[in-house]
Structure 1
Amino acid sequence: MLTAAMVAIAVGMMTIVAYWTVSSTLRESVDKDLATEASALLQQAVQPTTMVDAQKVVDNFRLYNSATRVSIRLPASSFVIGDDIPQLTSAESAGTDAVMATVDGERIYSKRSESGATVLLARDMTSLNQLITSLGLVLLLVGLFGIFLAIAAGMMVAKAGLRPIRRLHAAVDRVRRTDELRPIEVIGNDELADLTCGFNEMLEALENSRRRQADLVADAGHELKTPLTSMRTNIELLMMMQRSGGVGISEEDRQALERDVIAQMEELSTLIGDLVDLARDDVPETSLEQVDLLEVIDDALMRVKRRRPDVQFKTNTTPWYLDGDTHGLGRAILNLLDNAAKWSPHDGVVRLAMTPLFDGTVEITVADSGPGIPEEDREKVFERFFRSVQARSTPGSGLGLAIVKQTIERHGGTITAGESSDGGAEMRVVLPGFAMPGELEKSRLGAGRKRKNRRS
């Protein structure tokens, strides 16, 4: 509608200007013709021969200008030769030798010479006015047709331009109604095609998120089912013993059942905690704090040593600081050390080393003396619930390394699995940060100044 209104205004203005220009030009051409003819007659009127036979001059003029009436008044004479043309009023001719006016549909031109001779020419303007009126009607029809054509073209262009948006709207409505995340066909290579590609990427991300959620729920249900079934069986046995007064089972077996129930409850609690940590969203930027990585490692080492007093721990650490989540990093380091201690044999050695790199990062390696990770499984160990053939006979949920990877990547780092110097497993973590807390503060101030400059 806006396009049609603008086109209507433009066409209307062009029509008015064209009509005014053409009509003015036609009328001016009539005036020029009359002025030229009057000048020629006036020159003849003052000739001696014309003074004798003025009627002949008038007849010759009529012969070649049938559409124009003419009258001549000779000098020092009140007698008019020719047609009866209305005399222009004195107000119109006062002080001038030539005057032009429209009287009763005729264009009248009067010119007087210095000798007193006067020529009057009158031309009927009916045909010219009809021509101008016809021209106005034609311009009006052309303008209306142009407006209609603009409206039709605008509707077609708008419909064609909005078709991808309608497809997007239909896709959104289809997702709302059917919960189906099928991608939309991309047509062309313009901005709307880019918008469609972005929408398809969003649908793909939603589909991947839904798939991961479904996998998490299915895997979690499968992992929870085993300890729940075992614990239920043990509890039912204990209930049967209670009803029978303990007949048929020894005290040692009863205590073993109780220990199994407690161990299975701890396993369930650990598994649920791992699932909560794994499903937790990324920590918002406002909750980040300065983390002393050395302090986090020391705390995790103290806890692991209490669990595995039969394993030796060797460390080579250096001060390091970064912005992050203390709890999440502590849980990740604890999982790495727990995993290394679990696979180390009696009197085995777990080695942790920190090495600052030249690109503003630090490398943390955790190596054990266990059987190691097969090369084909080194990428899979970070997947949820993945457990290698060697690990399936040991307790665990298969979520520890997945939690570690998620936490490390959330802090802008990377983690890879490899082989240690004595054939065990080695986890290599690279994290950003600074060796001194003062450098971290300078970086924060510099980033703040940059943000202020961008805002200003």
Structure 2
Amino acid sequence: MILRKPAQPQSRHAMAPTDLGSFTIFGKGTSLRWQLALMTAAMVTIAVGAMTTVTYWTMSTSLAASVDQNLDEKASLLMQRTLDPLYVVNLNSEVQRFKTYHPDIRISVSPPAWSFFYGDSIPVGGDFTPTGVGEETSVRTVGNDRILTKRNSMGTTVVLAQNMDSTQKLVGALGAVLLVISGLGILLAIAVGMVVATAGLRPLGRLQRAVDYVAQTDDLKPIEVIGNDELAQLTTSFNEMLGALQESRVRQTRLVADAGHELKTPLTSMRTNIELLMDVYRMGKLGEMSKEDLDDLEHDVLAQMEELSALIGDLVDLAREEAPEHDMEPVELDEVLEHALDRVRRRRPDVQFQFHADPWIVEGERAALERAIMNLFDNAGKWSPVGETVRISLKAARRKAVLLVDDSGPGIPPEQRERIFERFYRTDEARAMPGSGLGLSITKQVLDRHGATIDVEESDDGGARFRVVFSGRPGYDGSDSDSGSDDGHTASDLRGELFAERWIRDNVESP
């Protein structure tokens, strides 16, 4: 049952549902309160209707069966009486006596060996069914009469007919009473449904007011949770969403503040140098500056422009990583490492790089992985002294691969190792170095998205060691291996895998 409101002209804005207490069904806006009430009424109507139908059918069937049983008992008694010769001799008076005691029943009797019936004129016939030893019974309805005919093997036949007007009136009265009760039940169900819907939707209305308050005031304070039902769980989920929004807002505010602070430093230096150059030019003293001073000024401006450009690029990369995820595809990690290393070598020609990588395949985005790994390599090259070596290795086993990046720099104090992946965080030593403090944050974000873990340790020569653990699969194809092995690998391959798994256990899974 659907309550349809008459169509009314509405503005486009008014047609948009804004009330949490209503939603759209079949293009017509119907109050959720009314829908719950009508749904309750419909279910009660179905239940009451089914109960009324069953009750009516049961009562009418029971009354008809009671009439049949009464007639059958009387017919059996009369058949026994016909065996008495005195009863047959006085059949006329016996029939009149029966009608005196049962005025609503007509009777017709044919004793044994009689060829005619004595009593009322009642049609004999119908489908006979065996009901006892040598007895047959027929029950049928003719007009308003219920006719029962019983005969036996000795030729005795008794026919009784009872008028059903009183029974039908009783059944009709019962049906009317049941119909009135059903109507009252439906009305009561609608009223109860409205009360239940109003009480049940009260927490939803409170949630709606809280949503309106958030929309109007931009205040993300949590909503009070009452009870532990489904609406309370909905409120808890809504509070979690508000918390996530608040955290996102805080991160955004911090990002804008930190980005503004970081951008202000190179811009201020550039402005100072450019204003100095303009003042010298206006005073006509540009020719009086030495070539060394001009070269220093030019070097400072170019360095500040490069720093500003790198910072903007890092911010763009960070925003790109916070965008919706891209489609993942198989990526050959060893090739990504090699390509990123080639780019870093061109940027850090004064540092040596020692590189080895086992073939390994991961599911991910190639460009993002290369950008993250290049930041990791560039960081190691930046902190390694001139002429020192950055050691890079990718060791693969059956289920995990470990990337180790060791530099020869001063290392990272243990108390600062967790914070170096925060945005714009820079250690005291790092503040004197060029950079924005976003490279490792971008790396961490990309690796987390690809299901990899990254940790910071101390390298063998006191520098920093970055350990990255990737999931995936080996990049080799085992189809050309010795066919004598059950899984397609030679004995040497199996020994190598066992060694690699032990190496993973010792170097990855151990704290």
Shared fold (TM-score, shorter chain, > 0.5) = yes
Cα separation, 2, equivalents of 1:362 and 1:317: 12
1:269 match = 309
Which residue, 327, 330, 333 being the options, matches 1:285?
Answer: 327
Residue 139 of structure 1 and its aligned partner are, at CA, apart by: 3.2
For residue 27 of structure 1, report the CA deviation from its aligned partner. Answer: 3.1
For residue 365 of structure 1, what is the amino acid of its counterpart?
Answer: V
Q: Aligned ranges for residues 3-14 of structure 1 at < 5 Å?
A: 8=45, 11-12=48-49
Q: C-alpha distance in 1, partners of 2:370/2:442? A: 11
The answer on 1:366 being equivalent to 2:400 is: no
Q: Which structure has the greater CA radius of gyration?
A: 1
Matched, 1:417 2:417: no
Post-superposition offset of 1:225? 1.3
Which sits farther off after the overlay, 4-13 or 312-321?
4-13
The letter of the residue matching 2:444 is: K
Which residue in the other structure is 2:122 paired with? 88
Q: Which of 430, 433, 437 matches 1:391? A: 430
Matched, 1:303 2:346: yes
Which residue pairs with 1:443 in the alignment? Answer: none
TM-score normalised according to structure 1 size = 0.71
Distance 1:439 1:406, change over 3 A: farther
- Number of residue pairs matched by the alignment: 429
SS of equivalent residue, structure 1 residue 241 = helix
1:262 partner amino acid: L
The answer to whether the aligner puts 1:30 opposite 2:67 as a matched pair is: yes
| 8 A Cα contact 2:140 2:147, kept in partner | yes
Shift, 1:305, TM fit? 3.5
User: Which is richer in helix?
Assistant: 1
Aligned partners of 1:186 and 1:197 also within 8 Å: no
- The one-letter code of the counterpart of 1:296 is H
After superposition, residues 280-359 of structure 1 pair within 5 angstroms as: 280-281=320-321, 284-285=326-327, 289-291=331-333, 292-293=335-336, 295-296=338-339, 298-306=341-349, 309=350, 312-313=351-352, 315-323=354-362, 327-345=367-385, 347=386, 349-358=388-397, 359=399
Amino acid at match of 1:30: V
Distance 1:121 1:274 in 2: 106
Deviation track 1:111-144 (CA, whole Å, cap 9, x = no partner) reads 8999999977665544333322222223333444
Q: CA RMSD in A?
A: 4.9
Post-superposition Cα deviations, 1:61-90, rounded to whole Å, max 9, x if no partner, equal 46754665668899999998xxxx862368
**Residue in 1 aligned with 2:169?**
130
**AA partner of residue 389 (structure 2):** V
Q: Which residue does the alignment assign to 1:449?
A: none
Using the TM superposition, give the Cα deviation of residue 102 of structure 1 relative to its aligned residue in structure 2, in angstroms. 7.1
Question: Which runs of structure 2 are paired with 1:139-288 in the superposition (5 Å)?
Answer: 139-144=178-183, 181=220, 185=225, 188=228, 201-246=240-285, 250-251=289-290, 252-281=292-321, 284-285=326-327
Three-state SS of the structure 1 residue aligned to 2:267 is helix
Contact 1:384 1:399 in 2 (8 A): yes
Structure 2 unaligned runs (5+)?
A: 2-38, 127-135, 480-511
Which sits farther off after the overlay, 54-63 or 235-244? 54-63
Per the TM alignment, residue 165 of structure 1 is displaced from its structure 2 partner at its CA by: 7.7
Amino acid at match of 1:140: L
Amino acid at match of 2:318: L
